[in-house]
Structure 1
Amino acid sequence: MVIKKAPCLFGSAIVVGILLAVAGILLLIGIPIDGIVNRQVIAQDYLGFTRDSNGTEIPNQMTASWLKPPYSMKLNIWMFNVTNVDGILKRHEKPNLKEIGPFVFDEIQEKVYHRWAENDTRIFYKNKKLYFFNANLSCSECHLSQKVTIPNIVFQKLVDAADVTIWGVRIKFAIESVLKMVSEAPFITVKISDALFDGYEDPIVDLVCKNKILSFLCETNSLQRRIGFFYGQNGTTDGTYEVDTGVPSPYKIGHLYTWNNMTVMPEGTWDTVYARMVNGTDGQLFSPMLKREQRLTLFVPQICRSVQMEYSRDVSVQGIPSWRYVPPKDLYDPKRPENQGFCNKAGVPRYFENTTVQIENCLPAGLIDLSRCQSGNPRVYLSNPHFYNSPMEVWHAVSGLSVPSPTNDLTFVDLEPTAGVPTQAKRIMQINVGMVKGDLSITENTTNVIVPVLWMNETADFDEGTREQLSAIFNAKHYSFIAGVISLSLGLICWLAVFVVIIIFSRQADEEEYSRLVLDEDEIEPVEPQENVVLA
């Protein structure tokens, strides 16, 4: 009876094994769980409102976090102190720098204004940033009243104004007269707090503004009354953004339509329309279901342009699998045709005669000219810290800089790819001043050089609440993988069991057949041999 039922049992086991194996394979590649998780993520990935039990509209979870990001944010700043001013001005020495820091600031961001538009498919907002000095996290000798010697931006404006080919000898003579009345000129010593957020008043400005010949420099706003590299950026916003809310398409969330009601930056900001386009995202919201081959485009108002980020590698941030995005190495390479628009057809000072280092009307690779992007057009250049990704000639033009490395000097953002939520971000940049020799007597022993003033590391780490939400996504996929392994293993075990049983039954059948044949042979009576008969 068991033998008769065996084919049915074998068939059932094979079918069960196939079902378990197929289920395991599907779970391993994530088809069932991915579909469920993706639908849940997409359903919640938008800026908008939900209703509470009383029917009152309240911001949904994403909007509440977006309005007041709960992330832990820090701004770390290192200043470069110029230690050999006399040697630079009198003995042709290159600037020697001493790095001081970090000066650590706690950063808080919040949306101080938002207005829905286009049937809630778009939203206008302003983002406010506040910085608070954290003495406990700063270096032991770091205090904001500490003084530092840095290049004088105002002096560089006077160098330009003293160009006799443009302004004439009379202007140059007036500037030389003013410079004899001040103790500092090409470099200035100021407090850290003033160099950063508070701003400082350069005594040269008052003298220039009171001079009848030079007062036009003040009237045309060429000289700023108060100077600071982050002056006016603490407790203020960086413009009005118009972005997509993710309704009806979550894949468009954060898409930037306008900044300060502009789709293109003002003419003169950059040389081409392509370079002046306001495109990409606002850098705070990212599309869900990211793809590795997909580049991210972000608009950065502080540099008046959009930048790109590309996938670098997989990382884990507090146990959350993430994708790391970094700027392409050639992002600021002027030799790329699309980057030519970020040069200046009106001319850029030549800091290096070697055309492989600096091509005509452009800065060396890795630097971007912010002069046309800032009020008063100061000769300020942005780069990676320690001139990472720039020609080594730029690094060698000064002394005292650390050796550049991707570990310390590369901007990145880590995103959980399913939800498109940042898990960690680090924005790193260095601010430099282009110092030009010009035609003034005080600079006759100097050369054109790009001098670093400070470098900064702005970090953001996701909060525990966000980590728990992302953990749920990761755990669902992780447990799905485990279930897939178990299901596939059980399916294979079923097939293996059937295979083993079939082999056993086959061997038993062979043995029974053999025994039967032997038994049959034993039952046959042997034939007695007959005696030979002799015929008479």
Structure 2
Amino acid sequence: MIVMVPSLIKQQVLKNVRIDPTSLSFNMWKEIPVPFYLSVYFFDVLNPNEILKGEKPQVRERGPYVYREFRHKSNITFNDNDTVSYLEYRSFRFQPAKSRGLESDYIVMPNILVLGAAIMMENKPMSLKLMMTLAFSTLGERAFMNRTVAEIMWGYEDPLVSLINKYFPDMLPFKGKFGLFAELNNSNSGLFTVFTGVKDFQRIHLVDKWNGLSKVNFWHSDQCNMINGTSGQMWAPFMTPESSLEFYSPEACRSMKLIYQEPGVYEGIPTYRFVAPKTLFANGSDYPPNEGFCPCLESGVQNVSTCRFSAPLFLSHPHFYNADPVLAEAVIGLHPNQEEHSLFLDIHPVTGIPMNCSVKLQLSLYIKAVKGIGQTGKIEPVVLPLLWFGESGAMEGETLRTFYTQLVLLPAVLHYAQYVLLALGCLLLLVPVVHHIRSQEKCYLFWSSSKKGPKDKEAIQAYSESLMTPAPRGTVLQEARL
């Protein structure tokens, strides 16, 4: 067992973590049993009129507004090159009991359509900018809007969007309502093609293509455009502290890499915690490999305008955690800290399956006054946070118990059983040895007694006869021992 058990366990893990209908983890991969929640925090703007006059923005965090996230894979197709293709659909359901507020709450936020369009028109001819100002005024568009949580999340009818779609139908990538999460609800995140690991275990779960592409074309360098790692749900087993987690995020339009931080235990299951390095959203000056994501601002925010219809949107950690302090100091009401705003994934290193995860990201809008567009007033250049969200999930219930029994408890029992059996075997080996030694002693005593002299024999015989003689009445008999 000492020789064979580790090898047998490894073979079973390799067999059951690959993407194959016969593996134990296939159903878990197909229909994730872990309940996922999307928690959204909005930055309610407290002084919109003062911002238009050039004052520093002041915000108040509202939320969380929590949604249960449901995921399921469809169109699962196994290919001949050891890959499988699938679409993963997501839907969201509001959870009032877990939320701090209702979807009917009103939030004051920057009007992305107005302020984003203003930045995009900054270098255009003055005549076009004046026409845009006139169009905004005619349609009643302002720099800031007061909308409900449901409208901001899932979309609202906007006269500007309706006008553009009517006369320029191919100009905007969305139709109908405009919302920050409208494209995520009841939709898929693209066609993923990943390696199953059946033929080549070294490539298990790695993304081969996304929407038929081996690399994207959003960025300005081949390294930034590469699709690396997995789809973000499972990783290769048998991790070490030198391992890293790489995955491609369609929402961020890029691959991300997390690094090992420390070992831990989740519900009795050993885990490795992986976190985001400080270089994840660093600019090209602080971290040259990120130069392809530029044009950049201060370190700690990533420009995602190239994959978000050219709007000046930026991705970062919540409250500009791990970013240049200038960003948080430019907005009143931000308080970055590691405990609340850092992301992590706790992975079972033997199988590569996540046990507990919390991915937190912030979406911000770069705003400033644009000459010729009156709606922008005297806004000072600033990266203004819109909202931050956290996707969290933790294994629980029957799935957790099954996982613990089969992948933690059973291997542990086998591990200790081999040493118990080894000790028992040694003990049983001692029994015949002791028996053999005792048998030799008895033989020696018998041999010694048979070699005694005539006088000894006569004395023994006389003593035996005396024992056979009846004792006088009242005499206490004594036991004779040979």
Question: Shorter-chain TM-score category?
Answer: 0.7 to 0.9
Tell me the equivalent position of 1:227: 178
Give 4+ residue runs of structure 1 displaced > 6 Å after superposition: 207-210, 484-493
Aligned residue runs from structure 1 range 97-496, under 5 A: 97-118=59-80, 121-139=82-100, 142-160=101-119, 162-163=121-122, 166-181=123-138, 183-197=140-154, 199-205=155-161, 220-221=171-172, 226-266=177-217, 269-334=218-283, 335-343=286-294, 361-374=295-308, 376-401=309-334, 403-439=335-371, 440-463=373-396, 464-479=398-413
Contact 1:430 1:454 in 2 (8 A): yes
Tell me the equivalent position of 1:515: none
Q: CA deviation at 1:432?
A: 0.8
State how far apart, in whole Å, the 2-side matches of 1:138 and 1:48 are: 38
Seen in structure 2, the aligned counterparts of structure 1 residues 171 and 474 have a Cα distance that, compared at 3 Å, is same
AA in 1 matched with 2:191: T
State how far apart, in whole Å, the 2-side matches of 1:158 and 1:322 are: 46
Q: CA deviation at 1:419?
A: 1.2
Aligned residue runs from structure 1 range 495-510, under 5 A: none
Tell me the equivalent position of 1:38: 10
State how far apart, in whole Å, the 2-side matches of 1:488 and 1:301 are: 53
State how far apart, in whole Å, the 2-side matches of 1:172 and 1:469 are: 61
State how far apart, in whole Å, the 1-side matches of 2:315 and 2:120 are: 23
Q: CA deviation at 1:86?
A: 1.1
Unmatched runs of 5 consecutive residues or more in structure 2? 428-482
Aligned-pair identity (%): 27
State how far apart, in whole Å, the 1-side matches of 2:30 and 2:417 are: 39
Tell me the equivalent position of 1:7: none
State how far apart, in whole Å, the 2-side matches of 1:407 and 1:489 are: 47
Contact 1:161 1:172 in 2 (8 A): no
1:402-444, Cα deviation, whole Å (9 max, x unpaired): x212221111111111111111111111111111221133434
State how far apart, in whole Å, the 2-side matches of 1:363 and 1:64 are: 44
Cα root mean square deviation, aligned: 2.7
Q: Which deviates more, 272-281 or 439-448?
A: 439-448
Q: Secondary structure at the match of 1:195?
A: helix
Contact 2:282 2:302 in 1 (8 A): no
Contact 2:165 2:175 in 1 (8 A): no
Q: CA deviation at 1:222?
A: 8.2
Contact 1:157 1:223 in 2 (8 A): no
Unmatched runs of 5 consecutive residues or more in structure 1? 1-22, 51-59, 344-360, 494-536
1:135-193, Cα deviation, whole Å (9 max, x unpaired): 11111xx1112111111111124413553xx4322212222323433555111111111
Q: CA deviation at 1:325?
A: 0.9
TM-score by length of 2: 0.81
Q: Secondary structure at the match of 1:49?
A: coil
Tell me the equivalent position of 2:469: none
Seen in structure 2, the aligned counterparts of structure 1 residues 94 and 487 have a Cα distance that, compared at 3 Å, is farther
TM-score by length of 1: 0.73
Q: Which deviates more, 483-492 or 224-233?
A: 483-492
Q: Which deviates more, 94-103 or 440-449?
A: 440-449
Contact 1:129 1:233 in 2 (8 A): yes
Q: Secondary structure at the match of 1:341?
A: helix
Q: CA deviation at 1:96?
A: 1.0
Tell me the equivalent position of 2:443: none
Seen in structure 2, the aligned counterparts of structure 1 residues 250 and 469 have a Cα distance that, compared at 3 Å, is farther
